[in-house]
Structure 1
Amino acid sequence: MVSITSLATWVKVALILGVLFIALLVTLHLLASSQKTKVDLEHSEGHKRLVVLVHGLTGLEDFKPAVHLAREALPKSDLLIFDFDSGVFSNTSPYAIANSIEKEINKAHIRYDYEEIILVGHSMGGMLLRKAIVWGNGLEDDRHDFGLRGERAWVQKVSRFVSLATINRGWSIDPRPKNMSTATYLSIWLGERLARLSQSAQLLLALQRGAPFVADARVQWIELCRGEFPTPKHVPQTIHLLGDKDDIVSKEDSMDLKAAKDTLFVTLENTGHRDIGTALNGGTTPADQERREAVKHALQGKIELLDTDKLVGQDEDHSIERIVYVMHGIRDYGEWTDQLRTVIEQKAAATQVGLAVVNQKYGHFPMLPFLLFWDRQKNVRLFMDEYTENRAKYPQAVKFDYVGHSNGTYILASALYKYKTLKVERVYLAGSVVPKHFKWQELADSGRVKYVANVVAAGDWVVAIFPRFFEQIADWIEVQPSDGPLDIGSGGFRGFQDASDAKKRIENFQFASGAHSAGVDASDEGKLEAIARFVVSGDTSGFTLFRNQSGPEGWLAFLSNVSWLVWLALGALLFGIGLLAFSASPWVGGGYVLILLGLLNSV
């Protein structure tokens, strides 16, 4: 047995390490900044052309070679240069930056009545400009916090958008980009986790692949290019230049840009992500000269002098008019989604409906990551990135339906709350971990959801105890969050309160015999048939089979009411075993901790 003194020493070491780690997080948080965007308008009398320049992550100073090249390539032009807080620790909102960009362009155009406007953006700067373009065209689903402005006159004057390695799809290291070094990958991997814990670098996190700012901008861009509007919208010609050694962006990341048919892609040799917006002084190598000349020609609009890429098809499928998403949940590899997909496709073929089923899988998702907000959000971003890719791939798809189980239900609810461009029609939820108070009626009233069928299982102990605990905490502090650590709940065991909707747009089908997977039991062909009929034709008559029990299991209803006590008991048990393990030996205790973490990340 280990002495009390030895155990106390280990506790002290753990406490010191914990304090040091907390100090690191506090330091990172204090380093985070949120400065106001600065703007510099270089105007000369008689100039009728405006060039707007927006830098990337490395800041305006690093972007100055591009500014100098713009002055040289486009003489007799006014320059509108933006300088926003782009530091690694920046907490500046990309929405606030984009709002400043759009307003300042509008202000300059009103004052000087420009005949032509050229937009130039590098990396994240290009993404900010894309948001300004869609907002300027009146597609402002996500601009409510800054006030809606409607369509602006300046967008009609934009002749071209020069995109210098714009992160059109956002950045991601999953999977690791092919040109990214191991050192860069590891630094980003560690930095992302520290940023989330310290609430710093929120600007960079907001530009991740699938994040709301990025995904909504991509959908808005697609709608701008393909939508039918009462008055014509203006989509500027986009010239997207990308280096062959870019370690952040790939050509495949810009599928939505192709929605504008006159978009041009140019690949530059021996050019990295940073080089394309900063190494433009001419240099000494042929690659340096080529890079400078290519960017200069793009600025001038001399398309005939650009060595543009030949696009091999655009992978568009015009036969699909409806897309059905089928999303699995926790502790599940999603095999049932393959079976349901087959049944849906068979029914769609019989009715000659142009329908595609997307049963996206994100692997085994254990209980512990599910209980952590950041890990839950990763799958939301994954879904929304897939959604934007599908919007680009299927130009005729205007209707979207959703079948979700467990964490799959959370993915949709969180996406609807955070992403303002997402709209779905028929929704089927089973084993729902969405809070019972989720505002489905508001979404239905705004036209973003048409109908929700929620199957409530009488014996769903997973929902009744684990997510229910988070809902109870929210009840205790009198909040009803739709975002954040407490944004899960017991909708799959207690039903949704909004099912009181007089228009019957939200319905609880309760109670179904069985546990967490009762609503997606692939061994029951009748259930798969009922779900398939619903998503293909809207027929809910088959859902009567989910009302085959009068109420929830009594013992489970009781435990759900005291879910906090169940959590407390489990915590006390695990803590007690840990004390016994450490009292035997620090090695035994360490082994217990590793085994416990392994189990929680496996079951």
Structure 2
Amino acid sequence: MTAEPTGLIVLVPGLGRTKIESLEKQLIAAYPNHRVKTFQHGIKPLSTRRGLDAVVDRLANSIRAWAGDNDGRREETASVILVGHSIGGIIARAAFLEAAGFGSEAPDDEPNGWATKTVRIVLLGSPNSGYHVENFPRSWRWAVPIVSGFAAFTIESVASGAYWLADLRLRWLHGIRVLGTTEAPKGSGPRPLIVQAYGDDDELVTRDDIDDSEYMPGTVRTRISSTDHGGLVDLTDASTKDQRWSELRHVIFGTFHGADTFTPPVETPVHFLLHGIRASAYDGWIGGVAAALRSQSTDAGSPPPKVVSLNYRFFSAIEFALPFTRRRNVHQFLDTYMAAVLTHSPDQFTFMGHSNGTYMMATVMKHVRAVRFRRILLAGTVLPPGFDWAKLRGRRQIGAYDANGVWADGEVHNDCARFDVPVGILATAIAGLGFRDIGAAGLRGFEGSHALDVTSHPTVFPQGHGGALQDHDGYPSRMPEIARFLSTGTVCTDPHEQRSRGFGIASRVTQILAPLVVLGILVGLGFAFAGLVVSIGVWGAIAAFAVPLVLIYVGLRTV
């Protein structure tokens, strides 16, 4: 005899000791027609990101078992409600997306049965954009900059701007927006109601931290009165229990109005224009391309596009050479992308980057699978010739979905210049020192199988690093050509210059000699310092070295 279908409520606690068991007991007593399960994830602040991914998979599999998807008892579960507190809400969101076909790896996995029965996801003090480090407990706050250099720990992975959290946030926005529409994966089921609750005395997660809900359908925000972060699931205090339970019960089972009142994404094109390490050297091209994009849209009778240009500060050659400073502005670009996704559809996003701007874009796309562009144009790129564009295409990061949810691959085009010294010498030397995220694709082009995923000209532009961004005699105006590619995918006419064989050889020799030169300099400095120690003492040697090294550093900061 088949059992009467029942509801399944899954509670996912936060970090450390919480009072969520008091909520579990209250739900069991008040709703005997529901099975209540608490998922003990065991995550700690210093768990690794790999452990975090494993917990997400374990939660999805646990719900699958509890819902009867594994043993033919699927019909015994009428509905599923997920309730996540703090980081538990982040884990619950990730598990639901995996089960609903919006996973972090394969783009459209077949949805699990329990995801199609999920009618509500309750997020209690769980931020959309991640935790702000300055709001962490003091013992965690000082630990973040210390431990983050050794591994990707949980405390860092769920912080605002972290790659793991940014990927989840983007997939969450996309998934909730398309569920229940023709763009959703086949068999994914209806969109659940999303209830985001925050405590009015919460010191860790505030109302501003859940503002993404303003841009998602089927989402409501509500306040739990007189409670801090831990108190959101605490029903042990007799003085607050009745009021707290009344509000929590409404959050989990109550009726909400206005869930579909939201700000939908705008479908107008968004063009990201990102300059290189010299904020002032070629910044004129950004204004020129922006003007050409607006002019072309006016001529076509289309709404003006949105142009996004991130103006990070002057970036010296030595700062670019050092990996920890080279990556400093990457998260700023990611934040800019996230802000655009809230208000506009990423199916209309294109990217044009020069020099370090191409590195920032590629680094973000490598680490955050949900970042995507319809078209990408590279000029003077400092990416390695073997950059894996095929991987990005396989993860559907280059292209767009049409109105019916059908994916179409997009375009990547690479423009090179004849005598690009920053690429051919500086980037090549950095690559020669063993840094695989930098290279001379802006001079040599992309090589091997990776070249199949990128279009390029058989010839190159004249002059140096900014050659592909400047007008030249006998050439069509560059700004309209760049704008035309971003708008329509039309590649410009071939430039007239042949690649310089001599400069190409010099570039390859630089890559070979770079480690030998650095080693020779270090050995020479070591002998010189030892000689000074013998002749003028340790402190005299330090002083003799410090002054010229400081002067060299200051000089390199302006090179």
Fold shared by both chains (TM-score > 0.5): yes
Offset, 1:532 = 1.6
Task: Give deviations 1:439-468, integer Å, cap 9, x for gaps.
Answer: 224545665432222222333332233432
Mapped partners of 1:458, 1:574: distance in 2: 36
| Partner Cα separation in structure 2 for residue 73 and residue 378 of structure 1 | 52
Q: Any stretches of 5+ residues in structure 2 without a counterpart? A: 399-409
In structure 2, the residue matched to 1:13 is: none
Cα distance in 1, alignment partners of residues 148 and 27 from structure 2: 37
Name the structure 2 match of 1:161.
121
Matched, 1:64 2:15: no
Q: Which residue of 2 aligns with 1:478?
A: none
Report the counterpart of residue 238 of structure 1 in structure 2.
194
CA distance in 1, matches of 2:250, 2:450: 61
**Any idea what SS the aligned residue of 1:83 has?**
coil
1: CA distance, partners of 2:215 / 2:32: 32
Q: How does 1:72-471 map to 2 (within 5 A)?
A: 72-91=29-48, 92-110=50-68, 113-142=76-105, 150-173=110-133, 180=135, 184=138, 190-199=142-151, 202-227=153-178, 228-229=183-184, 230-231=186-187, 233-277=189-233, 279-282=234-237, 284=239, 290-303=243-256, 314=262, 316=264, 318=266, 320-332=267-279, 335-336=283-284, 337-354=286-303, 355-373=305-323, 375-377=325-327, 379-395=329-345, 397-444=346-393, 448-449=397-398, 450-471=410-431
Q: Distance in 2 between matches of 1:587 and 1:522?
A: 50
Amino acid aligned to 1:49? G
SS in 1 for 2:416: strand
Rounded Cα–Cα distance in structure 2 between residues aligned with 1:105 and 1:496? 45
CA distance in 2, matches of 1:223, 1:417: 19
Distance 1:404 1:275, change over 3 A: farther
Pairwise CA distance, 1:123: 1.8
Q: Which residue of 2 aligns with 1:26?
A: none
Asked whether the 8 Å contact 2:383–2:438 carries over to 1, the reply is yes
Whole-angstrom CA distance in 1 between matches of 2:164 and 2:481: 36
On the 8 A contact 1:509/1:543 being kept in 2, the answer is: yes
Distance 1:156 1:407, change over 3 A: same
Q: Does 1:530 align with 2:481?
A: yes
SS at match of 2:277: coil
Q: Does the Cα contact within 8 Å between 1:247 and 1:272 map onto a contact in 2?
A: yes
Q: Secondary structure at the match of 2:120?
A: strand
Q: CA deviation at 1:165?
A: 1.5
Letter in 2 for 1:400: F
After the TM superposition, which of the residue ranges 551-560 and 386-395 deviates more from structure 2?
551-560
Distance (whole Å) between structure 1 residues aligned to residue 208 and residue 291 of structure 2:
29
For 1:410, give the aligned amino acid: Y
1:50 corresponds to which of 1, 5, 8 = 8
1:74-99 Cα distance to aligned partner (Å, 9 max, x none):
44432221222322221253221111
CA distance in 2: counterparts of 1:56 and 1:592, whole angstroms: 53
Cα distance in 1 between the residues matched to 2:217 and 2:91:
21
Provide the secondary structure at the position in 2 that maps to 1:80: strand
Distance 1:273 1:65 in 2: 15
Q: Are the structure 2 counterparts of residues 108 and 269 from structure 1 closer, same or farther at C-alpha, using a change threshold of 3 Å? A: closer
Give TM-score scaled by structure 1 length: 0.75
Q: Distance in 1 between matches of 2:375 and 2:488?
A: 10
Query: Is the CA contact (8 Å cut-off) linking 2:12 and 2:40 kept in structure 1?
Result: yes
Contact 1:455 1:510 in 2 (8 A): no
User: What is the alpha-carbon distance in structure 2 between the residues aligned to residue 539 and residue 421 of structure 1?
Assistant: 26
What is the rounded CA distance, in whole Å, between the counterparts of 1:368 and 1:280 in structure 2?
Answer: 56
User: Separation in 2 of the partners of 1:509 and 1:381?
Assistant: 34
State the shift of 1:430 in Å: 1.8
Paired residue total: 524
Call closer, same or farther: CA 1:507–1:190 in 2, change over 3 Å. farther
Encode CA deviations 1:88-115: one digit per residue, 9 max, x unaligned: 2212532211111111111111155211
Per-residue CA distance 1:230-255 (angstroms, 9 max, x = gap): 54632211110113444443444434
The structural deviation recorded for 1:429 is 1.1
C-alpha displacement at 1:435, in angstroms? 1.0
For 1:240, the aligned partner's letter is Q
SS in 2 for 1:424: coil
* Cα separation, partners in 2 of 1:550 and 1:257, compared to 1, 3 Å: same
Change (3 A) 1:171 1:143: farther
Distance 1:507 1:71, change over 3 A: same
Change (3 A) 1:276 1:219: same
TM superposition shift of 1:204? 2.4
Contact 1:47 1:77 in 2 (8 A): no
Provide the C-alpha distance between the structure 2 equivalents of 1:371 and 1:507, rounded to a whole number of angstroms: 27
3-state SS of paired residue (1:324): strand
Cα distance per residue 1:184-239 (max 9 Å; x no partner): 4xx6564222213333x622222233444323333333333333245463221111
Q: What is the rounded CA distance, in whole Å, between the counterparts of 1:377 and 1:454 in structure 2?
A: 22
1:516 to 461, 465, 485: 465
**Equivalent-residue separation in structure 2 for 1:335 and 1:188 (angstroms):** 41
Q: CA deviation at 1:325?
A: 1.4
> Cα distance, 1:129 vs. partner?
0.9
**When the two structures are superposed, what TM-score results if normalisation uses the length of structure 2?**
0.80
Which amino acid counterpart does residue 88 of structure 1 have in structure 2? P
User: Quick one: percent identity of the two aligned structures?
Assistant: 22
Matched residue, 2:406: none
8 A contact 1:212–1:418 mirrored in 2? yes
Match of 1:20 in 2: none
Q: CA offsets, 1:399-446, max 9 Å, x none?
A: 321111222212222333333333323211122121111122454566
Letter in 1 for 2:39: F
Deviation of 1:263 (Å): 1.1
What amino acid maps onto 2:153 in structure 1?
Answer: Q
Give the 3 Å change call, closer, same or farther, for CA 367–361 of structure 1 in structure 2: same
**95-104 or 289-298, larger mean C-alpha shift:** 289-298
Q: 1:348 to 1:302 in 2, by over 3 A?
A: closer
- Structure 2 distance, partners of 1:350, 1:413, is 32
Q: Is the 8 A contact 1:50 1:118 kept in 2?
A: yes
Instruction: Return the offset for 1:138.
Output: 1.6
CA contact (8 A) 2:213 2:221 kept: no
Would you say the 8 A contact 1:127–1:166 is kept in 2? yes
Once the two structures are TM-superposed, the CA of residue 265 in structure 1 deviates from its matched residue by 0.5
With over 3 angstroms needed to count, the CA separation of the structure-2 counterparts of 1:358 and 1:284, relative to structure 1, is: same
The equivalent of 1:564 in structure 2 is 515
Distance in 2 between residues matched to 1:364 and 1:281, nearest whole Å = 55
Structure 1 CA distance, aligned partners of 2:278 and 2:523? 24
Aligned CA distance change for structure 1 residues 398 and 149 (closer, same or farther; 3 Å):
closer
Q: Is the 8 A contact 1:256 1:389 kept in 2?
A: no
